[in-house]
Every structure is written in C-alpha cells, then in structure tokens.
Amino acid sequence: MKLNYHPPHLILVHFPAALLPMDWVCAALGWYTHNPTFTAAAYYALAGGVAGGWLAVAFGFMDLLRIPAERPAAQRTALLHAGINTGVLIGYSVLFFLQWRQPMLATATVPVLLLKTGLLLALVAGNYLGAQLVLKYRLGTIDND
C-alpha cells in the first residue's frame, strides 16, 4: 500500500523507534533524579510510541500479506520481524496500560527499567530484520512495489 508513493509502514516505524528509547531515557532520568517532569515525559513518549507502533503494525500486516509466495526468504524474515516487534509492542502496551490506570504517575523502578531494557534490545533486533526487508529484499521500495 502506498500513500502518494510513500509506504505508510516505513513512515510510521520511526515513531516507536524514536519514542520508545526516549521513554527509557526519561524513565531512567526520573528514577535517578526523582524529578516528576522526566516521569511525565516518559509516560507521553511511551503513549506516542505505543500508538505509533500499533499503526505501524496495521500497515505492516497489509504489506506482509502482499509478499509473493515465490519469495520464501523474504516471507520468513517478515514473519520474524513482525513477531518480534509485535511482541515488543504488546509488552510496551501492558506497561502503558498499567501506568494509565494509576491515579498518579509513579517513578519507574529498577525492575521496570530492566524490563524496558530487554524490550528495547528486542526492538533493535526486530528493527534490524525490518531493515533487511528493505535493503536486502527491496520490499517497500518504489522499484519493487
């Protein structure tokens, strides 16, 4: 699917790729400094990363369905990319929901920061596979779609 020659999935993936690490940075700064401004910034970065992530998933799923059966290596890579990044997004969505349900934003704890570190590492792995889809398999490019 294209939007004025631009694939929406490739546009949208930059929001969670930027906002979810920013959530970690702000949450860690909030934990370290006990400054509620960093905690609030982390919350809003998390909200934007989760919202942008689910939009990217929706458009990515449409792109996944369009990969021809004659390209099994691209299909395998796309499925692995989708599985990892969807799992990461589910984890972040749970964290967001738990914060959203609290009457007041709580400063991140060390276990939460460690969980977010693991989610970020998985996000990097999933995004690496997404880059392989574009650079190696030429999916989402004008000359291939």
Crossing angle (nearest 10°) for helices 72-100 and 14-33: 40
Which tokens go with 129? Answer: 């596979």
Confidence of residue 142 (pLDDT cuts 50, 70, 90): low
Residues with Cβ < 8 Å from 27, sequence gap 6 or more?
38, 39, 42, 108, 112, 113, 116
For residue 44, tell me if it sits in a domain.
yes
For residue 121, tell me if it sits in a domain.
yes
Confidence of residue 7 (pLDDT cuts 50, 70, 90): confident
For residue 102, tell me if it sits in a domain.
yes
For residue 143, tell me if it sits in a domain.
no
For residue 19, tell me if it sits in a domain.
yes
Q: What is the pLDDT of residues 39-86, one digit of tens each?
A: 999 999 999 999 999 999 999 999 999 999 999 999 999 999 999 999
pLDDT value of position 104: 87
For residue 141, tell me if it sits in a domain.
no
Parent domain of 104: 8-135
Q: How far apart are CA 132 and CA 136, in angstroms?
A: 5
Q: What is the pTM of this model?
A: 0.92
pLDDT at 98 over 60: yes
For residue 1, tell me if it sits in a domain.
no
For residue 140, tell me if it sits in a domain.
no
Number of domains composing the chain: 1
Name the amino acid, one letter, at 20. L
